[in-house]
Structure 1
Amino acid sequence: MAIVQMQKFHVLTFLKEQELVLQALQNFECAELLPAENGILVSENHFVKENANSEIEQFENKLTQVLSGREFLTNFLPKAGLLQKLRQKPKTYSLSELNTQFDALQWEELLLALRKKDKRLRTLEQEKQELSQAEDELNRWQYFDDQPEILTTLKQSVGYLGTLPNEQFPSFTHDLAKYPSSYYEIIQQTSTTTYLLILIHKTNHKLVERLLLSHGFAQYHYPFVGKPANALAQIKEKRQAVLTEEAMIKAELQKMQTEFEQLTLVAEILNSKIVKLKNQELLLQSKSITSLAGWVPKSEADRLEKALAKATNDHYYLVFAEVSEQEIAEVPILLENNRWVAPFESLVEMYSLPKYDEIDPTPFMAPFYALAFGMMVADFGYGLVLFLAILLAKKFFYLEASMGRMLTFFQLSAVPTMMWGLIYGSFFGVTMPIQLLSSQSDITEILLISVLFGYIQIFFALILKFYLLWNHKKQKVKAIFQAGSWMLFLISGALLAIGFTIIPDGPWTQVGLIGLIASLIGVVIGGSFEGETFAGKIGTGLYGLMDLTNYMSDLVSYTRLMALGVAGGSIAAAFNLIISYFPPVARYTLGIGLFILLHGINIFLSYLGAYVHGLRLQYLEFFGKFFEGGGRAFKPLKASGKYVNVNATDNNKQEEQR
């Protein structure tokens, strides 16, 4: 339960073995490469860096094309249901299997075929829109039972097809009646527009044209050939042919699940090649030698050497070095905890990974967080629901590693939730026969327990700070005055509280008062270490006393353990009271559904509040006392694993054991 010890390694091998070495390291999955010039072996030989930008760009372009084709197919493949997705375990491949399939798959031809289908579908969509517009247009004029172009052949008259707003139609007909050599016919009329045929004798057409314009007449120029009804039938026939072809192409795409999976494999292979090429740029090369360096967990050093020996046929030179004090800030961080603590690592990662010379706070934080979480929910029924729901999800559904770790985290937090539920005697807001503390009548006792919980955690944080300072060279005095003084302050405060309340006749008050004075003097001395000048030391020392308010506010912050637990229990009891007022029939019908709904909402809000406020207590009140962080995560060279599950061949057995 600690930060994994790292070693720096450096490898020299023949240039012709470079590809095999990189492939072996990607299979190895436990080595992070660093720029070779920062490695252990320093040489004045003619080593240069390889520029793989053009090759990387080439693979990135291919990956973009594959992802585009994959996304195109996604629009047509049948969508799996949520439960089906959760129950379906994805296939797992080794890198060698992926590379073998990459050579066998005809993915470039597949992408070409998909692009053609995509282009054809876009063309058909455009044709469909144009035909739909033409159909709408012809639907308005289909009742004109002649060829509109005949209007251009009239000798004594002028003919128009056009539209008129309905509100202008009465006045238009009235005014048109003044011209006896004029004729109009309604082709169709909608709620807003009238579609007209108008015939005018040539002697009056100038006057009638002005009349038409004054009434908002819009002339229509017929773009088709033949009668509108016949043109409409042809348009519908063309549109049906377009729809049929479109349906055939989509039906073909819906059957391409295998091709989709092939593109997924290709995407993973290309992405893994890009990862390898970016790491390749960290290497140094001469005419015949490749130089590479990196970090490896100390426990994996022997396995690394075996992998390199196999890849190069023993044509390599490998050296290891322990982490020096100057390299501490550069060492990547890998946490290693047992199965009960590892799920809480995500909380530390959200805050910050520790530095290499710090301690992993996860095992120290985990029990405090779990107990605080349980106290803020504090209902046996709520904890039982969470525990069983996650247990069933793990049994019947496939969960990714990150999701599985998160669910395990909540499942572990459900155990103290049930424990505190038994202490409070609460089961879905109903009081159980056995009840050690009542969230209704024992508020003071619960408040004192919450503050005591905070006191213990803060004191424990100071012990960790003392330990860290004491283990650093030349910081033992700081450990005494910057951590020990505050520990003495908390102990003295507790003695004063005992002397004033529990045992007023004992020496506890005097001892506590002396300890309090001594601790404050120690705080001033500890703070003075941060000043550079004499005046600065006095100022920083006195300023250290300001932390008194911080410690008091930290203790007050833990009262949220009482507040959230009591609030959640009171809300649950209120829901039960509301349902109890229902008549018997409604209580066991509508009431059951309402019980599930209301308590479901309360469970969600209780868990959310416990999760967020639990984080706040750890990050501010606990971590703030001893933990700095600032470490960077260990990022070994391996397959990307972004699109499919990938296990290195050499690691399959190890993964199964885990």
Structure 2
Amino acid sequence: MAMADSREALLSGLLRLGCVEISEPEGVLADPVWAGLLRRESSRLAERRTEITDVNAALAAVKRYGQLKDGLFVQRHPISEADFLSAGSAEQAREVCGRVSRALQELSGLQSEENRMRAGQASLRPWASLELPLETEGTAHTVVRMGVLPGAADTGALRTALAAEEEPAEFYEISADKQQRYCLLICHRSAEERVQEFLRPYNFSAVAFQGLTGTAAENLDRLERQLLENRKAQEAAAAVIAESSASRDALRLYADRLASEAAREASAERLLTDGTVLFFEGWVPAEQLEAVRSLLEELGCAWEAEEPAEEEYPKVPVKLKNNWLTKPLNMVTEMYSLPAYNSVDPNPAMAPFFILFYGIMMADMGYGLLMILASVIIGRKYRPKGTTGHLFGLLGLCGVSTFVMGALTGGFFGDFLTQVVKLTTGGDFVLPALFTPLDDTLMILIGSMCLGFVQIITGMVISVVRKVRQGRLLDAFWNEVTWWIVFAGIGCMALGVTNWVLYAGIALAVVGPVLNNRGFGRITGVFGSLYNNVTGYFSDILSYSRLMALMLAGSVIAQVFNMLGTIPGNIVFFLVVSLVGNTLNFGLNLLGCYVHDLRLQCLEYFNKFYEDGGKPFRPLEFQTKYVDIQ
């Protein structure tokens, strides 16, 4: 609780700390006593969102009319907090934003007017050869009507039929296009109804030009002059916007500042007040509580902090703790689902396997070098944040793994170096390799499934540790330890040591469902447990064969393209074909290996221990896209 007059200082302080997620006290307004005392705090969130829309429109207009080009990523600029919050820079940006907005509004009006005039030109052009004022409706004794017929109509036959009716009328075709025929009807007033009735089967439709005087040609000339003036006015408005391109950095800074202010106003809406005091609850990571304590005591707040009770766990937001190795894996975890509060953070358990498996599937020194270079260059030059930053961090780690596995398999853009040496010198050259995908396929397949088995066992170990900590010892024994005994028994039998370990494991797998179920469920539980676990573990381990499959596919595709490039025996032709082929292969594997690696983690690994459903921690903090606040 705080005094209401410290609202701005409190929100600004929490914004700077960036470690508190403000939440409305649950159930307070539902309590009649509290509801009579407190109300929701007002905010200017809607105003800030409108300003964000305006500045984003101004940035888009400045980029378009100033012919500015952005790279693949926004290059973030460092800035001090004082400069970021400077009133002078904000005022300058508001002035530029207002000027661009007015020019955009004027430009939009001019473009609408241009469209209207061009539509007018299109409607007048078919009548350009008619030397008759558009306002002409007839004389004292005649009626003049302009109209259209369908494009397929035969005006010659129509004129002949009209003459046969012996009506005092004349029908002329002025022009025609694929869709319509533009015609002029002149008839005596006494015969107007009869002639109209005659023309009805021909789908004749009258045309009128309200508000226009003079001939069509005169009106076309007038519209052309107006269009020239309109285009000059548009160019002047576009020039105003283009001149503002020099202030794009100021607009970007202003956009970031507005985003942070919008975040603050959104948090302000969760405050409750009676006009004298403010009241709110929130979440803070335990290691940052002292910083919050200092701020709250400095502002004279009354406050308390406590660990969430177990029944509150579903509401507690989750913040992952990471180091340099596990942080990039946040992208994978967030794509799947955050772990539930007080459960296991999967990143440390997943990082070694994800990075290793990616390297096994890609397995090429050339591709690994490209991944490392892309990660380092983009990371240092653009300093991407959030998911994009995690993506390139993960790219670098997987690039290292890819390079190492490529060194073990002797792959450098397939057999690129071998073919280059053969084309240029005629000699034989092969990179040293511990094993190769083409020659040691069976060994790689067995090794892949062994690695998968290790990961599955790791997941089971994590599950056992969790269950033991929760006091669920029997669950851990029957669900994991029993099958460890089965696995150990299979190993002993394969080595010819003994079969009794396997028999003991099978016996425990049968006894477990009998002891844990009742009635007829004991029998069905035995068959269900055996079937689900045997087929489940077998299919999970077999699924890791994709490590071998993608390694083999990537290696073969690269070698095929290199071989195609050697057919003419020309080094230049080879380099072109190899470049194109390896580019396609690299792009395909870059995505394919990620998808298959993700599948192994989410389906084969996470189902052993992972409890998802976490709510992301969203503190009140500076939200910037274009700058880094120092």
Amino acid of the structure 2 residue aligned with 1:234:
R
Residue 26, structure 1, aligned to residue 11, structure 2: no
2:291 matched to which residue of 1?
Answer: 303
Amino acid of the structure 2 residue aligned with 1:229:
A
1:222 & 1:31 partners in 2: Cα distance? 67
2:371 matched to which residue of 1?
Answer: 386
1:490 & 1:31 partners in 2: Cα distance? 48
Question: Equivalent pairs: percent with the same residue?
Answer: 25
1:71-86 matches, cutoff 5 A: 71=57, 74-75=60-61, 76-83=64-71, 86=73
Correspondent of 2:609 among 608, 626, 634: 626
- SS for the counterpart of 2:283 is strand
Native 8 Å contact 1:528 1:539 kept in 2: no
Distance 1:537 1:356, change over 3 A: farther
Amino acid of the structure 2 residue aligned with 1:28:
L
Distance 1:48 1:276, change over 3 A: farther
Aligned residues, how many?
A: 608
1:361 & 1:453 partners in 2: Cα distance? 18
**What's the CA shift for 1:51?**
0.9
Distance 1:18 1:225, change over 3 A: closer
1:615 matched to which residue of 2?
Answer: 598
1:459 matched to which residue of 2?
Answer: 457
1:544 & 1:219 partners in 2: Cα distance? 83
Q: Deviations over 1:350-375 (max 9, x none)?
A: 23333443332212211111111111
1:622 & 1:524 partners in 2: Cα distance? 25
Distance 1:119 1:404, change over 3 A: closer
Distance 1:516 1:208, change over 3 A: closer
Length-normalised TM-score, structure 2: 0.82
Distance 1:580 1:161, change over 3 A: same
2:500 matched to which residue of 1?
Answer: 514
Native 8 Å contact 2:318 2:338 kept in 1: yes
Correspondent of 2:548 among 538, 545, 562: 562
- SS for the counterpart of 1:294 is strand
Native 8 Å contact 2:66 2:241 kept in 1: no
Distance 1:99 1:285, change over 3 A: farther
- SS for the counterpart of 1:553 is helix
Length-normalised TM-score, structure 1: 0.79
Amino acid of the structure 2 residue aligned with 1:588:
V
**What's the CA shift for 1:67?**
0.6
- SS for the counterpart of 2:507 is helix
Distance 1:403 1:127, change over 3 A: closer
Amino acid of the structure 1 residue aligned with 2:399:
A
Residue 416, structure 1, aligned to residue 416, structure 2: no
Native 8 Å contact 2:48 2:261 kept in 1: no
1:60 matched to which residue of 2?
Answer: 46
**What's the CA shift for 1:111?**
7.4
**What's the CA shift for 1:646?**
6.4
1:159 & 1:286 partners in 2: Cα distance? 77
1:89 matched to which residue of 2?
Answer: 76
1:177-196 matches, cutoff 5 A: 188=175
1:147-158 matches, cutoff 5 A: 147=133, 152-153=138-139
1:345 matched to which residue of 2?
Answer: 330
Please tell me the root mean square deviation across aligned C-alpha atoms, in Å: 4.1
**What's the CA shift for 1:449?**
0.8
1:185 & 1:571 partners in 2: Cα distance? 71
Correspondent of 1:491 among 488, 491, 509: 488
1:153-302 matches, cutoff 5 A: 153=139, 168-171=154-157, 188=175, 221=208, 224-257=212-245, 268-269=256-257, 271-280=259-268, 282-283=270-271, 289-302=277-290
1:5-24 matches, cutoff 5 A: 12-24=1-13
Native 8 Å contact 2:367 2:402 kept in 1: yes
Native 8 Å contact 1:98 1:265 kept in 2: no
2:110 & 2:198 partners in 1: Cα distance? 44
Correspondent of 2:569 among 584, 593, 614: 584
Structure 1 stretch displaced more, 284-293 or 421-430: 284-293
- SS for the counterpart of 1:449 is helix
Residue 141, structure 1, aligned to residue 139, structure 2: no
Q: Deviations over 1:64-100 (max 9, x none)?
A: 35414642662454353243x6363346463884373
**Stretches of structure 1 lacking an aligned partner (at least 5 in a row):** 1-11, 500-507, 653-658
Residue 359, structure 1, aligned to residue 356, structure 2: no
1:529 & 1:418 partners in 2: Cα distance? 52
**What's the CA shift for 1:28?**
0.9
Amino acid of the structure 2 residue aligned with 1:605:
L
Native 8 Å contact 2:449 2:545 kept in 1: yes
**What's the CA shift for 1:413?**
0.8
